[in-house]
Chains A and B, each alone.
Chain A
Amino acid sequence: MRISLGPLLYFWDRQTVLDYYNKIAQLPVDIVYLGETVCAKRRELRGDDWLNLATMLEDAGKEVVLSTLSLIEAESDLALVKRVCQNGSYQVEANDMAAINLQKPGTPFVVGPHINTYNSSTLAQMSALGARRWVMPLELAGENLKAMQAQRPVNMETEVFVFGRLPLAFSARCYTARAHNISKDDCGFCCREYEQGLLLATREQQPFLVINGVQMQSARTFCLVDQLPELAQLGVDIIRLSPQLQGMTEIIDLVDKVRNQRLEPALAVVSLKRHMPTGPCDGYWYGDAGMDLLGKDFLDANLQEKGL
């Protein structure tokens, strides 16, 4: 299985982003998804900056894919997506049907996690349009994947999100601006203050969601690293890690070791928990509530921590 680094979901300053990807170039990641997928107003990096990063990563031996916006509202958003789709050098991850519509006929593309590919018929449709890879939608379960793998079109790679806070929803509203009591038009890029998003807790202090501008994420970190042997068995080609600022080097190193069978998944998850600010979840994989935790290795690790 190859490891991919999904698109950066947070808004970091320019130098932080450049340093981050320079570091990624040295790590055992095979595929890097680049570009702004959350908010069109975020422009610390311009189109050329992303393309320069793409060249640098390609020179380091990585496959580069350009990801498109997930919510396209204005004509200017559409123009941005169009430029990405017609870049001519790199494959595109479509996160809205507009991006698929803007592909030159016959150009291979990636169906992103925000396109609802929930069944084999839809996957066949995507394949006929030129898709060569699909990222499983986040709320699908292992048994759904199994059924879809059994009928997978030829020349279609399967990618599964295995580590990171889950992007759960998008809105026209900016919730970071709302929390600052300012309007979206005058946001002052306040989301830059929160490099891993802004925590939303319940009134009894339970960490619940993470606000990331117009996107809502899970507070818990989704983790399927304990299931990598199962994913390999299901014929998954690529496993996706979602970028975070803290601990990425170790996260990638641990996942790399597990996929190469140099580390037991159960040991890896114990170390990975350090990099989950409010703990793990994996319920979607088992067809359960996404926030739940059902992986046996995690539950065993919890018991150990409690000294039971």
Chain B
Amino acid sequence: MTTSKNNVELVCPAGNLPALKAAVDNGADSVYLGFRDGTNARNFPGLGFDNNELDRAIDYAHNKGRKVLMAINTYPRPHQWQQWCQAIDSSASHNVDALILADPGLMHYATTTYPDLRLHLSVQGSATNHEAIDFYARHYAIRRVVLPRVLSLSQIKQVIKNTDVEVEVFGFGSLCVMVEGRCILSSYVTGKSPNSNGVCSPAEAVRWEETPQGRRSRLNGVLIDEYAPDEHAGYPTLCKGRYKVNDNIFYAIEEPTSLNILEILPELIQAGVVAIKVEGRQRSPAYVASVTRVLREALDQCMANPDNFSVLSTWMAQLDKVAEGSCHTLGAYHRPWQ
């Protein structure tokens, strides 16, 4: 893959074939996807690809010169081991361009079985520093790392300075405030976690209640939030609820908001980031199309003329329209947020 500073790759999500086409048609360089099961971290009902669909997805993307990255980024437990290895086998036989893995056992299987298959370390691998990245490079020859959404811009620069492994960062989408791969809040409440089941705050555990005080959302019985009649009620991801701490009721963990890095795009490119990733395999093809289009345009302008790059208000307006909570943040990239 090209890794020059002038050719930053736009990596977009696809939960199904129409979303993949939307990503490719609107300018994604790579599309990442997963199988229709718990082998990937977006194991949502009705999402993901079977082998037939994967065939068609790869044909479509490769015919247009784009890449397909296969996420097998959950951690199999002993009884699931064979199924996860089969997911790697299927991906390899379909000629995916890279696997996105998190589990060291699976990385060992992939490197010994398919030595030529390119490996990316998933954000679920929790590598936040260059020594951890070096660990995966030494032992499993990973070629790229996706950084967790907890590092500041200056920390990302430090990481890039100290590693030869390509660095991919999240550019837009839902904001995980915890270190991915080290958060089991969801399984504490529901029994299902991103690490084990590829889901966070799963829909099957959500209950909505109408009460005289307003609408309430619960996750496996735990009250996540209560909304006034005129208030927008978002999806009850448990770290984005309102709770009581020291007699104050507030978003004690994180507001429902989207990550949006457009403002610092030139700095990220200057720092040597090789790929910008859009979150949201669970989102609609329309969402994928709209976000991909904006980021494509922004990236092209930024790469053509980084010194005079400015964020167009129409881009922000389009992105805010589809953003969680209809608002955005630079998240950890911006130090004061921490």
**B145: shortest Cβ distance to chain A, in Å?**
11
Stretch at the interface among A242-250, A266-274, A288-296: A288-296
Contact with A along B215-258 (1 / 0, CB 8 A): 00000101111100000000000000111111011001110000
Contact with A along B85-129 (1 / 0, CB 8 A): 000000000000000001111101100000000000000001111
Does B190 reach chain A (CB closer than 8 Å)? Answer: yes
Does A252 reach chain B (CB closer than 8 Å)? Answer: no
**B78: shortest Cβ distance to chain A, in Å?**
4
Residues A289 and B188 in contact in the complex (CB < 8 Å), given A144-B78, A200-B244: yes
Residues A73 and B189 in contact in the complex (CB < 8 Å), given A119-B75, A172-B338: no
Q: Does the CB pair A77–B182 fall under 8 Å?
A: no
**B202: shortest Cβ distance to chain A, in Å?**
11
Question: Cβ of A143: which chain B residues have Cβ within 8 Å of it?
Answer: 79
Residues A169 and B185 in contact in the complex (CB < 8 Å), given A73-B150, A74-B155, A201-B243: yes
Contact with B along A270-308 (1 / 0, CB 8 A): 000000000000011001111110000000000000000
Question: Cβ of B335: which chain A residues have Cβ within 8 Å of it?
Answer: 185
CA distance A100 to B129 in the complex (A): 13
Residues A168 and B183 in contact in the complex (CB < 8 Å), given A121-B109, A179-B246, A289-B190: yes
Q: Does the CB pair A179–B131 fall under 8 Å?
A: no
Q: Does the CB pair B182–A114 fall under 8 Å?
A: yes
CA distance A128 to B65 in the complex (A): 40
Nearest chain A residue, comparing its CB with the CB of B248: A179
Stretch at the interface among A2-10, A19-27, A204-212: A204-212
Nearest chain B residue, comparing its CB with the CB of A151: B78
Q: Does the CB pair B182–A71 fall under 8 Å?
A: yes
**B293: shortest Cβ distance to chain A, in Å?**
30
**B219: shortest Cβ distance to chain A, in Å?**
10
* A residues contacting the other copy or chain, number (CB 8 A): 71
Cross-interface CB contact of B127 among A97, A171, A208, A291, cutoff 8 Å: A97
Residues A291 and B189 in contact in the complex (CB < 8 Å), given A72-B128, A179-B248, A203-B242: yes
Stretch at the interface among B15-23, B134-142, B294-302: B134-142
Interface centre among B195, B223, B241 (most CB of A within 10 A): B223
**B155: shortest Cβ distance to chain A, in Å?**
5
**A156: shortest Cβ distance to chain B, in Å?**
15
Question: Cβ of B185: which chain A residues have Cβ within 8 Å of it?
Answer: 168-169, 209, 216
Interface centre among A119, A144, A184, A199 (most CB of B within 10 A): A119
Q: Does the CB pair B158–A97 fall under 8 Å?
A: no
Q: Does the CB pair B195–A73 fall under 8 Å?
A: no
A-B residue pairs in contact (CB < 8 Å), sample of 22 = A71-B150, A71-B182, A78-B130, A96-B132, A97-B136, A102-B131, A120-B78, A121-B108, A124-B105, A125-B104, A125-B108, A168-B183, A170-B178, A175-B253, A200-B244, A202-B223, A202-B224, A202-B244, A206-B222, A216-B185, A283-B191, A289-B189
Q: A98-B132, A122-B105, A168-B183 are in contact. List 4 more A-B contacts (CB 8 A).
A: A77-B129, A97-B127, A179-B245, A283-B191
Residues of B within 8 A of A (CB): 75-81, 102-106, 108-109, 126-132, 134-136, 138-139, 150-152, 155, 158, 177-179, 181-185, 187-191, 193, 195-196, 220, 222-226, 241-246, 248-249, 252-254, 332, 335-338
